[in-house]
């Protein structure tokens, strides 16, 4: 057993999705598409008699992280450092769950495969109600298309072949749990329609166009987000809203060209991984 182990998990912005709840958390999930980011969350797991979780040095209650430790049958201190804000549509809670699973497996020598670890983290997110598709996307990297929902033994993934720069501005949070626990019929209809259109031509341009249509049809746009997307489009850029957060993303320099003070990163080529030994 090593002293500690560290994993990096890319952030994940969903452009559009449909919700597919199920009593079995490995079967539950979402279909949709998004982008993983080179900005993400670094998670260090160290054995400790009492479990405790910290986000950027502050103690936090993070039910999916506690659930992962319990499923693996271990007790540890989990320290996460995030380049991305929590609750703003970047999959930070999913990243913390998945990073905990990977790092705990290494430090406690649990002998689980990557699919098994992704399943443990996905189930924890679903049970906590904090996400349905971030974990499987973050495990894959790139521009993931969630073709079928659920953990690796149930779901199916594809991807858009592209490596754009990405900019984003986070205005604030939206409650994923609140939206997912309400009536998701209109949202799911819009998400299914966007997925069908994307799969017919899986390109970055189509992804962005379908994401904008989804945000409008699912009635999720806030005024600030709608205005920023409009500004990006007027200066010749392309972008949409991060689901679910009051966050705008754009490819290339779309947001800075439109005068926004945006963070800049890239689509991340790799999925979540242990940090180099």
By CB under 8 A, name the binding residues for a second copy. 102, 105-106, 109, 111-117, 141-142, 145, 152, 158-165, 199, 201-203, 266, 269-271, 273-277
Nearer to a second copy, 157 or 221 (CB): 157
If the CB atoms of residues 48 and 201 are measured against a second copy, the closer one turns out to be 201
Burial string for 108-144 (b: 16+ CB within 10 Å, else e) reads bebebeeebbbbbbbbbbbebbbbbbbbbbbbbbbbb
Q: Please, which residues bridge with residue 77 across strands?
A: 46, 52
Q: Which is nearer to a second copy, 11 or 245 (CB)?
A: 11
CB of 19 to a second copy, least distance (A): 23
Please check whether residue 12 is in contact with residue 141, taking contact to mean a CB–CB distance below 8 angstroms. Answer: no
By C-beta, is 21 or 164 nearer to a second copy? 164
Q: Are 265 and 40 in contact (CB under 8 A)?
A: no
Smallest separation (angstroms) from a second copy to the CB of 277: 6
CB 121 within 8 A of CB 78: no
Least Å from the CB of residue 214 to a second copy: 19
Q: Is 46 left (phi over 0), alpha (psi -120 to 50) or beta?
A: beta
Q: For residues 156 and 177, which CB has a smaller minimum distance to a second copy in the complex?
A: 156
Q: Residue 88 has which token pair?
A: 């703003």
Distance of closest approach, residue 174 Cβ to a second copy, in angstroms? 29
CB of residue 157 to a second copy, shortest distance in Å:
8
Token pair belonging to 122 = 């996905």
CB-nearer residue toward a second copy: 115 or 185: 115
What DSSP designation does 187 have? H
Q: How far is the CB of 166 from a second copy (least distance, A)?
A: 11
CB atoms within 10 A of CB 3: 7
CB-hemisphere CA count at 13 Å for 55? 18
Nearer residue to a second copy within complex by CB, 9 or 66: 9
| Distance in Å, CB of 255 to a second copy, minimum | 17
Q: Using the CB atoms, write b or e for 48-86: b if 16+ within 10 Å.
A: eeeeebebeeeeeebbbbbbbbebbebebbbbbebbbbb
User: Between residues 227 and 269, which has the closer beta carbon with respect to a second copy?
Assistant: 269
**Least distance to a second copy, CB of residue 20, Å:** 20
Cα angle 129, 158, 189; round to 5: 55
């Amino acid at each position: 057993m090593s002293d500690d182990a560290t994993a990096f998990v890319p952030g994940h912005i969903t452009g559009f999705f449909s919700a597919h709840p199920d009593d079995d958390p490995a079967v539950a999930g979402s279909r949709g598409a998004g982008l993983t980011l080179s900005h993400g969350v670094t998670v260090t797991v160290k054995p400790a008699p009492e479990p405790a979780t910290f986000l950027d040095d502050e103690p936090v209650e993070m039910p999916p992280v506690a659930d992962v430790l319990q499923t693996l049958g271990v007790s540890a201190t989990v320290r996460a450092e995030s380049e991305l804000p929590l609750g703003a549509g970047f999959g930070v809670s999913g990243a913390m769950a998945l990073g905990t699973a990977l790092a705990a497996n290494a430090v406690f020598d649990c002998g689980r495969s990557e699919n098994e670890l992704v399943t443990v983290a996905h189930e924890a997110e679903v049970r906590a109600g904090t996400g349905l598709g971030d974990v499987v996307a973050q495990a894959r990297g790139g521009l993931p298309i969630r073709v079928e929902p659920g953990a690796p033994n149930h779901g199916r993934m594809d991807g858009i072949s592209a490596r754009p720069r990405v900019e984003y501005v986070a205005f604030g949070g939206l409650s994923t749990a609140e939206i997912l626990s309400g009536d998701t019929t209109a949202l799911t209809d819009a998400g299914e329609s966007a997925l069908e259109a994307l799969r017919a031509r899986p390109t970055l341009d189509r992804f962005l166009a379908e994401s904008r249509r989804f945000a409008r049809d699912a009635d999720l746009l806030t005024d600030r987000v709608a205005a920023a997307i409009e500004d990006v489009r007027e200066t010749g850029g392309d972008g949409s809203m991060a689901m679910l957060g009051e966050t705008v993303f754009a490819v290339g320099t779309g947001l800075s060209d439109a005068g926004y003070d945006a963070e800049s990163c890239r689509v991340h080529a790799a999925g979540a991984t242990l940090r180099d030994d």
